[in-house]
Amino acid sequence: MRRTRTALRGAAAVVTAAGAVSVPVAAAGTAHAAAGRVPYQCTIFSTVFDYDATVTVTAPASAKAGDTVTVKADFSDLPGVAPLPIDSWTTSGTLAVSGAQSGTVPVKAPKRTGPVPAHGAVPIGEVTGQLTLTGTGEVDLAPGGLTIDADAGAQATITCTPKQTPATLATISVGEGGPGASVSPSTVVQGGAVSVTGSGWQPGAAGIALCDANGAACKAGDLTGATASVDAAGKLTASATVAESAAAGARTIVVTQGTVRRAVPLTVTAKTQPPTGQCSGAPADRCGEQKINLTVDGGPLTMSQEPGEVDLTPVTLNGSDQTATGSLKKVQVIDARGGTTGWSLTGTLTDFGSAAGTKIPAGNLTWTPACTAASGSGTVTPGSAGPLDTTTAATLCSAPDGAGQIVGGTFGAGAGVSLKVPAATGAGRYTAVLTLTLS
C-alpha cells in the first residue's frame, strides 16, 4: 500500500529583461507615468518562486525643491503560491531614488481583504508614498523591493527582490524651490523640544505638525505647545515639544502656510523606560537593566511519512472469508503556523486490484486511527474506526481550532488496518493506494 502527501507548490513565471519600458506621454507639470516589466525573486516560508511583474510608476513631471510630492507604483497580480486561502493582506515596499538625490521612498497600500483561494493569484495593485525633494535636477524613480504580509489563518510574509537593477520608470524635473525650513535638533527624544526656522515665507501665521517619514499621517497630539509665525522679512520661527506618546523613529516636521507645505526630516528616539523596580534607589554603577525582545515568525503546516510500502499479512484461501492485517507507515504533522486554526488529516483508498484484473473493494479495509501529540503541543483527536472509501474521505487525525488560543506543535498519526478477503477471491498480489490529505 502506498500513499501520497500534499506539498507547497511554487509558481513559475516567464522572466523578461528589466528595462522593457513603455514610452511615457506627459507634459511639464502633469503626472508622469511609465510601465515596465521587472523580474522578481520571491520567498514564502522556504519556497522560492519567480514573479514577473508589470509595474507602472507615477510621479509629477516637474516640481520645486522642497516640495513633498506623491509617488505611486501599480503592480500586476502576484502568482498564487500560498497553500491556504488568504483572508487579508498588506503590501509595502520601496521605490529607488537616484539622480539629483538618492535613497529610497517607502510605499504602502491599505489593507486588502479576500478571500483569495489557495494557490490563487494575489492582487497587489497600487502602493503610494511621499517624497520630499531636497535639491534641483532630475530625480529618477525605479521599482524596489516588495513585501506582502498575509493572513492565511497564520501570518505569512512574502518578500520579493528584483533580480537585477530595474530601469527608471519616472523622472521628476526639480527646479528652484520656494520657502524653505530646517529643524533643530535633527534628533530629539520623546518629550524633547524642537525649533524650526526658515525663509521665503509670507508674513503672517503658519502651522507645524509632526508626521510620519513620508510627511503623511500627521497627528495633532504628537506636538504640544506648538507656535509658528513669519515676520515681515519672510523669516519663519516655530517651536514645539514632541509628546512622550509620539511614535519613535523616522518622522518629519511639516510646515504649512495656505497651500504651501514643506516637510523636514526629524528622528524621534524613545525615552528610556522607567526601571521595573529591581534597581530603584540603587547606584547606577551597581545595578542595571536590559530589555530583551523576541520575534516569533510563523512557519508552515506540513506532513511527512516513513518511507516504504505497507505489507499486509498474507492469507491462504480455504473456502471461508479471511482477514489480513497490518499498520500504516507513521505520519508526522508539524503545525508551525502560530495561529488559532486547527487542521485535519484525511484519507481515501482505491479498490485493491491484481494483475489478473480481479478486485477487492476499498470498503473491505477498515482502519483504527491512533494519534499522539509531542510535549508542549496542542490537542489531537483520532478519527473514528471504520471502513475507507474511494471518494468519501475518512478522518485519520485532527486538531480543533483554538477558540482564541494558539494551537500547534508536532503530532504523530498512524492506524492499524484490517482487510476482509472474501472466500471467492482470485489468487495473486493485490495493491491499493491510500491518499492522505492535510488541510
pLDDT digits (tens, 9 = 90+) for 337-370: 988 899 999 999 999 999 999 999 999 999 999 9
Residue 405 has pLDDT above 50, yes or no: yes
Residue ranges of E strands in 274-336: 301-305, 322-327, 331-335
What is the tens place of the pLDDT at every residue in 307-327?
999 999 999 999 999 999 999
Residue type, 140: D
* Distance in angstroms (rounded) separating the CA atoms of residues 201 and 233: 8
What is the tens place of the pLDDT at every residue in 19-37?
333 333 333 345 677 889 9
The matching CATH number, chosen from 3.40.630, 1.10.287, 2.60.40, 3.30.70, for 2-175 is 2.60.40
CB 78 within 8 A of CB 54: no
Q: What is the largest CA-CA distance in the chain?
A: 115
Q: What is the pTM of this model?
A: 0.45
Q: Is 314 exposed, middle or buried (0-12, 13-18, 19+ CB in 10 A)?
A: exposed
What rounded mean pLDDT belongs to the chain? Answer: 86
* Distance in angstroms (rounded) separating the CA atoms of residues 319 and 35: 77
Residue 51 has pLDDT above 90, yes or no: yes
Cα 241 to Cα 185, 196, 210, 244, 406: the distances in Å are: 12, 11, 10, 9, 42
- Please tell me which of 107-111, 174-178, 340-344, 414-418 the model is most confident about, judged by mean pLDDT: 414-418
Residue 74 has pLDDT above 70, yes or no: yes
Cα 372 to Cα 66, 299, 343, 350, 414: the distances in Å are: 65, 21, 14, 27, 9
CATH topology classification for 301-438: Immunoglobulin-like (2.60.40)
Residue 3 has pLDDT above 80, yes or no: no
Rounded to 10 degrees, the C-alpha dihedral 302/308/310/313 comes to -150
The pLDDT score that the predictor gives to residue 367 is: 97
Q: What average pLDDT does the segment 298-312 reach?
A: 93
What is the tens place of the pLDDT at every residue in 411-431?
999 999 999 999 999 999 999
CB 74 within 8 A of CB 31: no
Q: Is 12 exposed, middle or buried (0-12, 13-18, 19+ CB in 10 A)?
A: exposed
Q: What average pLDDT does the segment 261-283 reach?
A: 77
Residues of the chain with CATH 2.60.40.10: 180-269
The pLDDT score that the predictor gives to residue 234 is: 87
The pLDDT score that the predictor gives to residue 274 is: 61
The pLDDT score that the predictor gives to residue 284 is: 67
Residue 256 has pLDDT above 50, yes or no: yes
Q: What average pLDDT does the segment 108-121 reach?
A: 89
CATH topology classification for 180-269: Immunoglobulin-like (2.60.40)
The pLDDT score that the predictor gives to residue 231 is: 92
Residue 124 has pLDDT above 60, yes or no: yes
What is the tens place of the pLDDT at every residue in 200-233?
889 999 999 999 887 778 888 899 999 999 999 8
- Please tell me which of 16-20, 61-65, 236-240 the model is most confident about, judged by mean pLDDT: 236-240
* Distance in angstroms (rounded) separating the CA atoms of residues 184 and 165: 37
The pLDDT score that the predictor gives to residue 176 is: 74
